[in-house]
């Protein structure tokens, strides 16, 4: 089943496509979309064809910075409901926390995380399509949109301590420098930004404390994000310990201060098991690592906590009915097609929700 994003993600696409010599109507049609689909920014569109559309547009225009340029067309209102809420938070930290917690309101594939310890605070962004989809342009657009949101909240002169990208540097860095500033880091383990000390405590000048009760009513109308459960805590520990090769039920039980049997019972009460959580975490992380060409399959096996590459290979094939090499081959084929649609159905990597939330 497809995952979805709002049409707002393609704000300005027709204008930019024409500016770089492309026919937006034709390319959108190749993705199964029309110009009319972009007229309503809250309309939900299948995410995978949109991602391929951006990749094809970048390739055919010769603009590796296509998505970064596209971010110039975004406005604060592109966030929809959250645009109203974020402006009334007293500090940037509060706004970023809301932005990450309520990501599902405006984007059905985004996993954004605000990490404050250890070291400089970072916001890391991941896109989870659940299928072989090229993500370079989509991640660039997400990071550029995030930088724009921060500037709209605390000042146009703000620049990140560093902007990080999981892909190699493009030939022309002008648009990247204009959007992200001088401190660019490519071939990194994640896409996102690091913040200077004090950035998160920066006040939002337009915030009005008297309006916050009303913005909370807006959030209530959108539906609250899922509260953190024991499963969520275990999942976070699993993701942290897998690369160290120390992910085990006894170790995680000790971290949570409970006996393994107690943890097993409480997970069962939530309809989960430790084995299922590990399998789900590996599935998500495998998708993230496979789109980064710098990671060899042996390195991915280590990052997922497998004792040997052969163990990873067997697990991947049993899980998805294809090899990791075949998955990467499909990923490259999707990036090289001349339209936004898959040539053949591709397998789902992770369970998806029943449509957009």
247-304 per-position pLDDT tens digit: 999 999 999 999 999 999 999 999 999 999 999 999 999 988 998 888 899 999 999 9
| Overall pTM > 0.95 | no
CA distance 12 to 162: 26
CA–CA dist 80, 336 (Å, integer): 33
Q: Is residue 216 in a domain?
A: yes
Nearest Cα to Cα of residue 42 among 106, 128, 108 = 106
Q: What crossing angle do the helices spanning 324-336 and 274-290 adopt, rounded to 10°?
A: 40
CA distance 53 to 337: 10
CA distance 162 to 208: 30
Nearest to 290 by CA among 282, 281, 300: 300
**What residues have CB less than 8 Å from 355, skipping those under 6 apart?**
1, 4, 44
Q: Which residues are paired to 192 by β-bridges?
A: 124, 164
Residue 357 lies in a domain: no
Distances (CA, A) of 41 to 55, 66, 85, 248, 354: 21, 20, 18, 45, 21
Is 294:305 a contact under the CB 8 Å cutoff? no
Q: Is residue 24 part of a domain?
A: no
**Phi, psi dihedrals of residue 246, rounded to the nearest 5°:** -120, 25
- The answer to whether residue 29 is domain-embedded is no
Residue 225 has a pLDDT of 62
CATH label of the domain that carries residue 283:
1.10.10.60
Burial of 210 (0-12, 13-18, 19+ CB in 10 A): exposed
| CA nearest to 205, candidates 77, 81, 74, 89 | 89
What pLDDT shows up at residue 338?
52
Helix ranges restricted to H, the chain: 13-19, 24-30, 47-61, 66-70, 81-86, 92-101, 136-154, 174-180, 212-222, 230-241, 249-256, 260-269, 274-290, 297-303, 309-320, 324-336
Do 162 and 264 fall within a single domain? Answer: no
For the stretch 82-112, pLDDT in tens is 888 899 999 999 999 999 988 888 888 999 9
Whether 330 maps to a domain, the answer reads yes
Q: Counting beta carbons within 10 angstroms of the beta carbon of residue 156, is it exposed (0 to 12), middle (13 to 18) or buried (19 or more)?
A: exposed
- Boundaries of domain holding 250: 231-336
Same structural domain for residues 246 and 205? no
* Residue 338 contacts residue 330 (beta carbons within 8 Å): no
Q: Which two tokens stand for residue 170?
A: 């493009």
pLDDT along the chain (357 residues), means of 10: 88 98 97 94 94 96 98 91 89 94 87 89 93 93 97 96 96 97 95 96 91 81 71 91 91 92 94 94 92 90 94 93 91 67 40 35
Q: Are residues 180 and 271 in the same domain?
A: no
- Asked if the structure places residue 14 within a domain, the reply is no
In a domain, 102, yes or no: yes
Tell me, yes or no, whether 331 and 292 share the same domain.
Answer: yes
Q: How many domains does the chain have?
A: 2
Structure tokens at 171: 């030939």
Choose one of 171, 188, 222: the last residue of a domain.
222
What is the structure's pLDDT at 118?
Answer: 76
> Same domain, yes or no, for 121 and 149?
yes
The helix (H) or strand (E) run that includes residue 185 is: strand 184-185
Q: How many Cα neighbours within 13 Å face the side chain of 19?
A: 11
Same domain, 125 and 75: yes
Same domain, 330 and 270: yes
My answer on whether 216 and 271 are in the same domain is no
Same domain, 208 and 75: yes
Instruction: Specify if 356 maps to a domain.
Output: no
- At 229 the pLDDT is 86
pLDDT at 224: 61
Domain boundary among 222, 241, 266: 222
Pair 120, 165 in one domain: yes
Same structural domain, 261 and 287: yes
Containing 193, the helix (H) or strand (E) segment is: strand 191-194
293 and 204 within one domain: no
SS3 (DSSP) at 52:
helix
């Amino acid at each position: 089943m497809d995952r979805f994003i709002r049409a707002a993600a393609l704000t300005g696409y027709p204008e930019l496509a024409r500016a770089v010599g492309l026919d937006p109507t034709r390319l959108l049609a190749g993705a199964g979309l029309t110009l009319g689909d972009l007229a309503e920014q809250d309309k939900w569109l299948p995410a995978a064809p949109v991602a391929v559309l951006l990749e094809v547009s970048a390739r055919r225009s010769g603009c590796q910075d296509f998505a970064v340029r596209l971010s110039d067309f975004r406005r604060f209102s592109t966030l929809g409901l959250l645009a109203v809420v974020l402006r009334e938070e007293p500090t940037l930290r509060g706004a970023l926390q809301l932005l990450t917690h309520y990501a599902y309101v405006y984007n059905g594939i985004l996993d954004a995380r605000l990490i404050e310890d250890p070291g400089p605070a970072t916001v890391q962004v991941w896109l989870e399509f659940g299928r072989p989809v090229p993500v370079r342009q989509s991640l660039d657009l997400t990071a550029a949109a995030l930088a724009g949101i921060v500037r709209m909240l605390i000042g146009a002169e703000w620049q990140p301590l560093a902007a990080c990208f999981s892909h190699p540097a493009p030939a022309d860095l002008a648009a990247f420098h204009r959007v992200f500033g001088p401190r660019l880091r490519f071939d990194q383990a994640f896409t996102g930004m690091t913040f200077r000390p004090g950035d998160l405590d920066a006040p939002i000048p337009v915030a009005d404390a008297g309006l916050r009760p009303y913005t909370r009513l807006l959030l209530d109308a959108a539906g609250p994000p899922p509260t953190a459960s024991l499963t969520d805590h275990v999942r976070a520990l699993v993701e942290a310990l897998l690369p160290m090769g120390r992910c085990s039920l006894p170790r995680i039980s000790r971290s949570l201060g409970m006996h393994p049997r107690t943890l097993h019972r409480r997970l069962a009460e939530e309809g989960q098991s430790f084995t299922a959580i590990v399998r789900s975490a590996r599935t998500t992380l495998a998708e993230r690592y496979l789109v980064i060409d710098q990671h060899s399959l042996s390195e991915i096996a280590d990052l997922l906590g497998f004792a040997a590459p052969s163990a990873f290979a067997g697990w991947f094939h049993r899980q998805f009915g294809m090899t990791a090499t075949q998955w990467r081959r499909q990923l490259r084929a999707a990036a090289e097609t001349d339209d936004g649609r898959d040539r053949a159905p591709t397998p789902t990597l992770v369970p998806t929700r029943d449509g957009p939330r």
